[in-house]
């Protein structure tokens, strides 16, 4: 009986992963082409202004998501609470978090930036967080390995909006038009999820204060670590904007876009195989580390291959796609692309920390990585510009996603598994 359950889990995990890959490859192909055309049309200045707003909102977005995703999926799998209570409580918590995030955005851009256009761009972008609260529906799909439902809904909207973006470029629409279009995509995606899930089921959602306390107690390290992670992933763009201008943000955003383009890969594996890791840890601990090592090996080979490819082809890619106006992004891309190796590892390692109830280390390592990143940015950006920011991010990710695990006995097995995955080559 156990073998049948494991076999079924494995089959469903594979199907789920395939759907997620189809989703991301569609976004990779269509999104890259459309994104390049939008960036070329807007130019580094306006493109940098938009990305500055996105970077800041990313910093505070952890208040909106509250680090609940993995915890909620785990609770849905454990069936420790009714689905209506789990999803309802998570939804209202994220709604409150979105309000807090939006208030922070308004205060920062109104009092510190003194730029009406930038304030409006930031506000409209922050509204996306409110509609993304309904992504808790996707958490149910993840727990049942049925991400196909989310993929169908969101990709239908994505293709439609991508066509509209091309029309906007052709007719030379303003920056605000593109920002509004991004918000419309989010609204339509959320509406599609509701229709798929069923309005009747949505009405059953309930907020439970006792369960709310349980969620926050388990998730607070992930909430804080999420804030910190976004800070040391996006703080470099904020610091570039404040130290060398928004044009620098536009140039740097192009390099990080290619780096972050591939971050969906570890997320897909982590999402699809998280239920399997939980099952292995609870029932077959002797096989748990074996599965984790295989995952680390796979993620290392993929990320290493991507890094080598872009190291040698970035000059051609940037100049061909974006033009000479973005040529200063080339060396920053050659540096930042190697950050992916540690990000890939970090996603898998983060899942291990959740499974093994070591959530606090997500926060500790992120805090230390953030501190290192800020110091390095202060030292390197004035001297090396966007290349200095790329170096700072690479070093801080190397520490937070790899070296940190070596220093503690409880986490050293993660460092060993990651190191073994290098030796796989």
Distance CA 276, CA 418 (A): 19
Q: Per the structure block, which two tokens stand in for 52?
A: 């500055």
- Tracing tokens 């269509």 back to the chain, one arrives at 30
pLDDT mean values, one per 10 residues, the chain (425 residues) = 45 64 77 91 93 90 78 79 88 93 94 91 96 87 69 87 95 96 95 88 91 84 72 85 91 89 82 76 80 91 95 94 91 95 93 86 86 94 95 94 94 94 73
DSSP of 212-256, one letter per residue? HHHHHHHHHHHHHHHHHHHHHHHHHHHHHHHHH-HHHHHHHHHHH
Per-residue b or e along 212-232, where b marks 16 or more CB atoms closer than 10 Å to that residue's CB: beebbebbebbbbbbbbbbbb
- DSSP annotation of 325 reads G
Note the pTM of the prediction, 2 decimals: 0.78
Give residue 14's pLDDT.
Answer: 63
Give residue 424's pLDDT.
Answer: 57
Residue 278 in contact with residue 79, Cβ under 8 Å? Answer: no
Distance CA 190, CA 132 (A): 7
Residues 6 or more apart whose CB falls under 8 angstroms from that of 104 comprise 60, 63
How many other CB atoms are there within 10 angstroms of residue 208's CB atom? 17
- Tracing tokens 């909106």 back to the chain, one arrives at 64
Query: Containing domain of residue 324, as a range?
Result: 2-423
Where do the H-state alpha helices sit in 356-411?
360-384, 386-401
What's the number of domains the chain is made of? 1
């Amino acid at each position: 009986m156990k073998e049948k359950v494991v076999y079924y889990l494995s089959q469903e995990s594979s199907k789920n992963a395939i759907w997620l890959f189809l989703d991301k490859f569609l976004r990779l192909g269509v999104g890259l082409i459309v994104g390049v055309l939008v960036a070329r049309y807007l130019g580094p200045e306006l493109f940098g202004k938009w990305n500055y707003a996105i970077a800041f909102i990313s910093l505070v977005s952890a208040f909106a998501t509250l680090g609940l995703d993995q915890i909620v999926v785990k609770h849905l799998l454990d069936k420790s609470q009714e689905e209506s209570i789990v999803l309802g409580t998570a939804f209202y918590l994220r709604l409150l978090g979105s309000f807090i995030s939006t208030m922070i955005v308004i205060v920062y851009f109104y009092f510190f930036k003194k730029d009406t256009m930038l304030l409006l761009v930031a506000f409209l972008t922050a509204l996306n967080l409110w509609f993304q609260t309904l992504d808790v529906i996707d958490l149910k799909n993840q727990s049942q390995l049925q991400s196909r439902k989310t993929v169908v809904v969101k990709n239908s909207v994505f293709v439609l909006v991508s066509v509209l973006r091309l029309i906007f470029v052709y007719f030379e629409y303003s920056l605000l038009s593109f920002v509004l279009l991004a918000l419309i995509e989010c609204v339509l995606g959320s509406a599609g999820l509701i229709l798929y899930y069923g309005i009747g089921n949505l009405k059953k959602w309930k907020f439970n204060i006792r369960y709310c306390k349980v969620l926050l107690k388990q998730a607070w390290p992930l909430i804080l670590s999420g804030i910190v992670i976004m800070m040391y992933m996006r703080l470099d763009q904020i610091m570039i904007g404040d130290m060398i201008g928004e044009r620098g943000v536009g140039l740097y955003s192009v390099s990080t876009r290619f780096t972050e383009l591939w971050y969906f890969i570890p997320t897909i594996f982590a999402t699809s195989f998280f239920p399997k890791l939980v099952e292995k840890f609870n029932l077959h601990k002797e096989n748990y580390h074996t599965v984790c090592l295989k995952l680390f090996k796979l993620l290392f080979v993929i990320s290493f291959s991507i890094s080598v490819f872009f190291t040698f082809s970035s000059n051609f890619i940037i100049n061909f796609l974006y033009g000479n106006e973005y040529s200063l992004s080339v060396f920053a891309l050659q540096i930042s692309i190697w950050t992916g190796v540690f990000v890939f590892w970090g996603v898998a390692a983060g899942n291990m920390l959740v499974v093994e109830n070591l959530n606090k280390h997500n926060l500790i390592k992120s805090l230390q990585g953030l501190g290192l990143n800020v110091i390095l940015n202060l030292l390197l950006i004035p001297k090396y510009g966007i290349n200095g920011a790329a170096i700072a991010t690479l070093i801080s990710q190397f520490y937070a996603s790899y070296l940190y695990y070596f220093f503690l006995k409880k986490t050293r097995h993660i460092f060993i598994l990651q190191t073994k995955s290098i030796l796989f080559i």
